[in-house]
Amino acid sequence: QIPSAALLGVLIERDLQVAGAGGLLFQLMPGASEEAIQALENRLAQHDKGISSIVAESASMEELVAALMGDLDYQILEKRPIRFQCTCSKERVSNTLVSLGKDGLREIMEDKQAELICHFCNEHYNFTEAELVELYNQVTKDF
């Protein structure tokens, strides 16, 4: 295991607007000394404000890291933009239907259509009767 610290927070104003939201994942490099680990733990524990307040007061990620790290020596190795990206596809979702087996697919085929919704991105995938028959044939061929 890699010694790690995750800080996450959201600061909500009285009018229910988000004043700051963010998080950081700290991971020590291989070979980090016990002194470095203890220094980081002590530094992160000594903040009297929550991470959400520090996020709200920071203009950039670099400023946020500097506020958290203080006088500790650190190096930012990489910066990448983050975004939510679901990897679902009709093919991947169809595997869910296949996993139901012959009996499960036969029952769904009675409706002559199916709609599956990805619970991560809310994408809707519709399957026609012909597509369901094709999946059923795939399942029965594998048995």
pLDDT 10s digits, 28-55:
788 888 888 888 888 888 877 777 788 8
Beta-carbon contacts of residue 94 (< 8 Å; ≥ 6 apart) = 125, 127, 131, 135
Higher per-residue confidence, 135 vs 49 = 135
Higher per-residue confidence, 43 vs 113 = 113
Q: Are strands 18-27 and 114-117 parallel, antiparallel or unpaired?
A: unpaired
pLDDT of res. 142: 64
- Segment 6-24 mean pLDDT: 86
How far is residue 34 from each of residues 25, 60, 76, measured CA to CA in Å?
A: 19, 30, 20
Computed over every residue of the chain, the mean pLDDT equals 87
pTM: 0.50
Residue 48 DSSP class? S
What counts of helices (H) and strands (E) characterise the chain?
6, 4
Q: Are strands 124-127 and 4-12 parallel, antiparallel or unpaired?
A: unpaired
* Of 93, 103, 113, nearest in space to 139 by CA: 103
pLDDT of res. 75: 83
